[in-house]
Amino acid sequence: MPAKKGNTYAEKYDHDTAKKFFEDSLQLVKENDNLFYIGQVAVKMNTYRQLYDYLIDRFEDLDTIKKEIDGILESRVAERTFEGKGNSTYAIFHLKNNHGWKDKQEHDHNVGLTVTISKDDAEL
């Protein structure tokens, strides 16, 4: 007999276990200065990086812990690079792709002007 729709019998993470997972991840990041990317953290936690997003979708309040983790990882990459201990090309790539950094501002010059040309107005 199949389980009823929407069952969570096989769910490994309830709110408490998910929160502990995030807290353990944060502790790992604080203790290990050689972690720079959430994928590395996931490997050390014996899981995959998409699990963090999945759990945040389920338990929105865990987003604050994830932001703290991301903030530490982001500042670690930037600090190492500023100190000359990291590869600047990698740091630029990493910060742009994982932390939303940009090296230029882009402006939208669309002012909403509409021009209509009818057959009667057009000279052929």
pLDDT at position 102 is 86
Instruction: Provide the whole-model pTM.
Output: 0.71
pLDDT given at position 40: 95
In a domain, 108, yes or no: no
Residue 1 forms part of a structural domain: no
The reply to whether 68 falls in a domain is yes
- Tell whether 117 is covered by a domain: no
Q: Which residue range forms the structural domain that includes residue 63?
A: 15-99
In angstroms, rounded to a whole number, what is the distance separating the alpha carbons of residues 92 and 101? 8
In a domain, 107, yes or no: no
> In whole angstroms, what is the distance from residue 84 CA to residue 19 CA?
36
**CA 120 – CA 124 distance, rounded (Å):** 10
How high is the pLDDT of residue 51? 96
- Predicted local distance difference test score (pLDDT) of residue 54: 95
Q: Identify whether 4 is part of a domain.
A: no
Task: Give me the chain's average pLDDT, please.
Answer: 85
23 located within any domain: yes
Q: In this structure, are residues 65 and 22 in contact, taking their beta carbons and an 8 Å threshold?
A: yes
Q: What percent of the chain has pLDDT over 90?
A: 51
The total number of structural domains in the chain stands at 1
pLDDT in tens, 7-31: 555 578 999 999 999 999 999 999 9
DSSP string over 9-75: TT-S--HHHHHHHHHHHHHHHHH-TT--SHHHHHHHTTS-THHHHHHHHH-GGGHHHHHHHHHHHHH
Please indicate, yes or no, if residue 72 is contained in any of the structural domains.
yes
